[in-house]
């Protein structure tokens, strides 16, 4: 019997610095959340670029090198508090910066060339604040969260409730 390769769950994301986390926390505090919802905290906040899913650990080095793409710095403005279907509470961007759209597209090309499935729906950058929060009420009149994006990261889902995610590698150099 051939042993199955060990797999890990991966995704690519924008990861907030301390200032952005503080802004998101200021926003999140102003939501009226229903009892029993699952709140996401500062260590969980991110903007997913691509969900990769289960990936063979033995192939991680090759993937980590392949996605080392240049990043043109941009500012993301998270300005739309929403409750999506099934009680997913998010803060999303009403406009996707061209540089973010380009990065997300280029990463998708690399992932597809590596034999990975790439999401085909329109890209909607957002931060998840809570799950199972049907009936949550969004704050009104909150200033947008301004996110100066200068890097992106490769992240593993840990499967732990304490710390859901761990950054494996950070990328970001200016486009030439």
3 state SS of 38: strand
pLDDT at position 173: 61
pLDDT band at 66 (very low <50, low <70, confident <90, very high): very high
The answer for residues whose C-beta is within 8 angstroms of residue 41's C-beta and 6 or more apart is none
Nearest to 161 by CA among 10, 38, 11, 71: 38
Other C-beta atoms closer than 10 Å to the C-beta of 42 total: 13
Cα–Cα distance measured from residue 49 to residue 145, given in angstroms and rounded to the nearest whole number? 18
DSSP 99-168: HHHHHHHHHHHHHHHTT-----SPP--EEEEEES-TT-B--SSPPPEEEEE--EEEEEE---SS--EEEE
Partnered with residue 76 across adjacent β-strands are 147
pTM: predicted TM-score of the whole model, two decimal places: 0.91
21-42 confidence digits (pLDDT tens): 999 999 999 999 999 999 998 9
What domains are defined for the chain?
A: 7-171 (3.90.1140.10)
Nearest to 15 by CA among 155, 122, 144: 155
């Amino acid at each position: 019997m051939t042993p199955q390769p060990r797999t890990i769950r991966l995704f690519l994301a924008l990861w907030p610095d301390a200032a952005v986390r503080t802004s998101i926390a200021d926003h999140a505090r102003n939501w009226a959340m229903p009892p029993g919802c699952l709140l996401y905290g500062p260590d969980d906040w991110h903007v997913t670029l691509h969900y990769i899913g289960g990936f063979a650990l033995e192939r991680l080095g090759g993937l980590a090198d392949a996605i080392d793409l240049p990043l043109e710095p941009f500012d993301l403005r998270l300005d739309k508090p929403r409750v999506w279907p099934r009680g997913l509470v998010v803060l999303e961007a009403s406009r996707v910066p061209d540089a973010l759209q380009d990065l997300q597209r280029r990463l998708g090309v690399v992932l597809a060339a590596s034999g990975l499935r790439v999401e085909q729906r329109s890209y909607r950058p957002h931060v998840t604040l809570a799950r199972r929060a049907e009936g949550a009420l969004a704050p009104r009149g909150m200033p947008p969260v301004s996110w100066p994006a200068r890097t992106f990261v490769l992240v593993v889902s840990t499967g732990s409730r304490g710390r859901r995610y761990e950054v494996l590698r950070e990328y970001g150099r200016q486009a030439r």
